[in-house]
Amino acid sequence: MTETPGTSVLHVDDDPALAELTAEMLSGHKAQFTVETATNASEGRDRLATRSFDCIVSDYDMPGQNGIEFLETVREKHPNLPFILYTGKGSEAVASDAIAAGVTDYLQKESGTSQYTVLANKIRNAVERYRQQERAQATRDRLRQIIDLLPQLVFVKDEGGEFLLANEATAEAYGTTVSDLEGATDADFADSEAEIEQFRADDQAVIESGEPKHVPEESLTTEDGETRLLETTKIPYDPVETTGDAVLGISMDITERKERENMLRRYQYAFESALSGIAITDLDGELIDVNSAFVDMWGYDSTEDAIGRPAVNMWKHPEQAQSVLETIIERGRREDELEALRADGSTFYARGVNSYLTDSDGDPIGVIASFFDITDRKEREAELERKQEFLEQTQNVADVGGWELDLRTDSLRWTDEVYRIHGVGPEFEPTVEDALAFYHPEDQAAIRDAVERVTTAGEPYDLELRIVTADDEVRWVSTRGEPRYEDGEIVGVRGTFQDITERIEREQELEEKTAKLDQLATKYERQYRTLFEEAPVMTALTRPENGQPIIEDCNSQFAETLGYDAEAMIGRGLAEFYTPEAAERMLSQGYSQALDGQFTREKRELLTMDGERIETLLRAVPRRRADGEIIGTLAMYIDISERESVKRANERLEEFASVVSHDLRNPLNVATGRLELVAEECDSDHLSDLEAALDRMETLIDDLLTLAREGKDVTDAQPVDLSTVVNGCWENVETNQARLITDIDRNVYADKNRLKQVFENLFRNSVEHGRADVTVTVGRLDDGFYIEDDGPGIPSDERDTVFEPGYSQSTDGTGFGLSIVKRIITAHGWQIRIADGTNGGARFEITNVEFVTVQGPPSSADPAADE
């Protein structure tokens, strides 16, 4: 690779000794780098603000702002500047976070000076790529700006049909974006196989012949069903950045032009084929075009015979034509009926729809009118008017019977519907007394009184009563009666008669259901109150007043936990029982979100009457009326004070482990680096002993940190294939001539990384304490699995102490391996014991393990388990 002279590097590390060593190593690397150092991210930002660098090298674990946070700050103003994370705290999590934040490269600090050669190479490669990308991007940007401004479709496709380049117009025609189209083919976005095949054939013809090809019209149908028409020219093209031949295409979207041409043809066909007579006049009212139906309707000899005549001649009454024109000028449209005048002087009735005809700018250039011959309809309307009164009466009584009493003859007439309701046939000739006798005995007085009043005093009536039909069936009816007068004298009564039994029964049924619902509501209210009071969590109901929650009700657990009387809390603001910090957060956002219909699940600190703080997990849901309107919240609190204390203890332990990692590893790395420099300058028997001591210190630190971090329970379990994990761990351990036998094919829920530590520590224990060709077997138990070897085994009197931190049978061991194993097993809720192996060696049995076949982890009963 070509040397990159004049490369300036900013190195940020909170350990001055290590920073100085790194700068010394890089500066001496072929005199290629100029290195400036900073001891924290803040100082690094200041350096970057005052001058430019070609690359940044940063530690991860630094006070104030770690390496990834520093990277995120740098990326805000320098999105592409090479940034290498060079850290002693290496883990998959840190690497993943660094990649997600946009790190250029990642290197974990190691012992020895060779790491600085690796670091120098990574810096040189990153800077060279960065400079090349900047130059290439500038060229592409200029080309992209040019082609994206073109209204034509511009694209380049290779021999396989892949778009190497496409402008915005091309992407829009395909119904996608430039980024999605480039790298794809026609088949990824076009919907027609025939079109795709034609595109490929045209492309291949241009590439094979080396001659341009013009396609006057081709179609492109995208996945959303939209079809575009294109006029395309394709020419051979030699792509610079790739091998092989390509084709450059330039297309003009002619869809709108073709649509206008097709629309014009359709309009012309519709104009000539219309059944209605259509006429077009200029603004002076002279006919300039008419269709065949108009010629026939007005009785002209031909189209030419009609064109040029004044449109006013179409009206029998010319003043109506003037009124129509005035309305069109005012409103732009008018529908009207007219008595039209044919060419031979005869008349007919027509209905016309008249509107302005405008040009492309919207300015009126004439009037277009469509006429329908309605002569037959007008004649039918005249006949219909004569029957209107009869039709209206028929419509009014379509499902209602009618009756008429003639007081002069004392005769009563029923319609068919009234006969049907009474259950008698038309042969029955009712009298007034017969009709009254059908009414239910309990309703006789009401109907007789109503009939008496309407016949003597002219008082109409409208009653809902019962009758007993000829079949002894009780039916509810609506009966109405109105007096009929002649010369001011009551001569009769007319009325209606309707069966309303089904409606009455529905109403009665509704009343019964309403009563039952009232009873259920009372019952459910009592049950709700019991559940509310007996709920195992603190519960409160609130209503909003001026944007603040007011307690409407609360259960005894809420009141007693906070040391108040429940009645004394009702009507007070909920914020009074929060700590100031929790109250501010609730009033600033939490309660308004609940009133907007959102569910709240977060931690809240409550304050007792004695001033004690209680940490709770809040679950708040909106309360709604039957119509869906939100009227407040239901808030439930779970006391999690004890759990939070445990959580804080674990956080302090993690903080301690991080501090130890930082404060011990950096000096150790510096010592190792200095040792290698000394070894290059002189030779001493003490150097190998010192190197062994430093290696043992590093191993001891690793085991101590692992032991410190293994105290917490497993919360990130997932299905793990034991066979895969076992084989992978065996490859990670230096096994020499040792042999592994795996006899297990089950899955368990476990933290995969921590489970790997179990197997690697046990494998390492067997290899270190056994023969060079020791055999290690992993097998299945009924409720777990075992790991055994054929080595010397563990004496029975030492099996209770091997899991204690610091215990080791080897002078080279740290004594923490089996202690780490025990803690990981316990964190999973499993058990471990030591037994004699089949061939006399050590056998570790892990039990109380649940094998799984499901896809997801079992649910937790803890309502805050997902925190």
State the Cα torsion 43-49-50-56 to the nearest 10°. Answer: 70
Q: Provide the CA 609 distance to its chain's centre, in angstroms.
A: 44
Contacts for 322 with CB less than 8 Å, ≥ 6 apart: 312
Is 310 a member of any domain? yes
Boundary (domain end) residue, out of 499, 521, 548: 499
Runs of H (alpha helix) within 222-344: 255-273, 292-298, 303-306, 318-331
**250 contacts 237 by C-beta, under 8 angstroms:** no
Hey, which residues does 60 pair with through a beta bridge? none
For residue 149, the 8-state DSSP code is T
Can you point out the beta strands (E) in 407-525?
411-414, 461-468, 474-486, 489-499
Is 853 a member of any domain? no
Phi, psi of 771 (to 5 degrees): -75, 170
pLDDT at 845: 96
Question: What six digits make up the tokens of 752?
Answer: 């995969």
Instruction: For the chain, list residues with pLDDT below 50.
Output: 1-4, 31, 390-392, 394-396, 398, 696, 700, 703-704, 707, 711, 854-867
Q: Provide the CA 668 distance to its chain's centre, in angstroms.
A: 50
**11 contacts 57 by C-beta, under 8 angstroms:** yes
Residue 81 and residue 163 share a domain: no
Residue 206 and residue 114 share a domain: no
Residue 133 and residue 29 share a domain: yes
pLDDT at 860: 36
Is 1 a member of any domain? no
pLDDT digits (tens, 9 = 90+) for 153-184: 999 999 899 998 999 999 988 889 999 999 99
Residue 322 and residue 393 share a domain: no
pLDDT at 626: 72
Nearest-CA neighbor of 764 among 789, 801, 798? 789
Whole-angstrom Cα distance, residue 512 to residue 343?
75
* Run of H or E residues at 591: helix 591-595
Whole-angstrom Cα distance, residue 122 to residue 127?
9
Question: What six digits make up the tokens of 269?
Answer: 């066909």
Hey, which residues does 235 pair with through a beta bridge? 248
Residue 130 and residue 101 share a domain: yes
Phi, psi of 153 (to 5 degrees): -80, 120
Gyration radius of the chain's alpha carbons: 48
The structure tokens 């302090």 sit at 652
Q: Can you give the CATH number for the domain in which 249 is found?
A: 3.30.450.20
**328 contacts 355 by C-beta, under 8 angstroms:** yes
The boundaries of the domain holding residue 693 are 645-701
Is 697 a member of any domain? yes
pLDDT at 732: 85
Residue 102 and residue 183 share a domain: no
Amino acid 483 reads: P
pLDDT at 684: 60
pLDDT at 390: 46
Contacts for 468 with CB less than 8 Å, ≥ 6 apart: 438, 439, 440, 474, 475
Runs of H (alpha helix) within 604-715: 641-681, 685-709
Question: What six digits make up the tokens of 245?
Answer: 């031949």
State the Cα torsion 207-211-212-214 to the nearest 10°. Answer: -100
Is 582 a member of any domain? yes
Q: Can you give the CATH number for the domain in which 116 is found?
A: 3.40.50.2300
Whole-angstrom Cα distance, residue 531 to residue 37?
66
The structure tokens 């076992």 sit at 726
- Other Cβ atoms less than 10 A from the Cβ of 778: the count is 24
Residue 376 and residue 399 share a domain: no
Residue 225 and residue 160 share a domain: yes
pLDDT at 437: 96
Whole-angstrom Cα distance, residue 281 to residue 313?
13
Phi, psi of 753 (to 5 degrees): -65, -40
- Other Cβ atoms less than 10 A from the Cβ of 579: the count is 17
Whole-angstrom Cα distance, residue 175 to residue 186?
12
Q: Is 136 exposed, middle or buried (0-12, 13-18, 19+ CB in 10 A)?
A: exposed
Query: Per residue, what are the HEC states of 754-776?
Result: HHHHHHHHHHHHHHHHCCCCCEE
Whole-angstrom Cα distance, residue 408 to residue 838?
124
pLDDT digits (tens, 9 = 90+) for 42-85: 999 999 999 999 999 999 989 889 999 999 999 999 988 999 99
Question: What six digits make up the tokens of 218?
Answer: 């081709």
Contacts for 638 with CB less than 8 Å, ≥ 6 apart: 537, 538, 616, 617, 619, 863, 864
**120 contacts 26 by C-beta, under 8 angstroms:** yes
- For 107, 581, 590, the CA distances from 585, given in Å and listed in that order, are 42, 6, 7
The structure tokens 């025939």 sit at 194
pLDDT at 83: 94
Q: Are strands 333-341 and 347-358 parallel, antiparallel or unpaired?
A: antiparallel
Q: Does the reported pTM lie above 0.75?
A: no
Question: What six digits make up the tokens of 550?
Answer: 């007011």
Apex 619 CA angle, 613 and 623, nearest 5 = 125
Residue 832 and residue 718 share a domain: yes
For residue 660, the 8-state DSSP code is H
Residue 423 and residue 308 share a domain: no
pLDDT at 53: 93
Boundary (domain end) residue, out of 654, 671, 701: 701
Number of structural domains found in the chain = 7
Is 488 a member of any domain? yes
Residue 234 and residue 172 share a domain: yes
pLDDT at 440: 96
Is 865 a member of any domain? no
Nearest-CA neighbor of 234 among 243, 245, 242? 245
pLDDT at 865: 34
Residue 278 and residue 240 share a domain: no
Is 634 a member of any domain? yes
Note every long-range contact of 590-598, with CB atoms under 8 Å and residues 24 or more positions apart, other chains counting: 590/620, 591/544, 591/547, 591/548, 591/549, 591/633, 592/547, 594/620, 594/621, 594/622, 594/633, 595/544, 595/622, 595/630, 595/632, 595/633, 596/630, 597/622, 597/630, 598/622
Whole-angstrom Cα distance, residue 398 to residue 543?
54
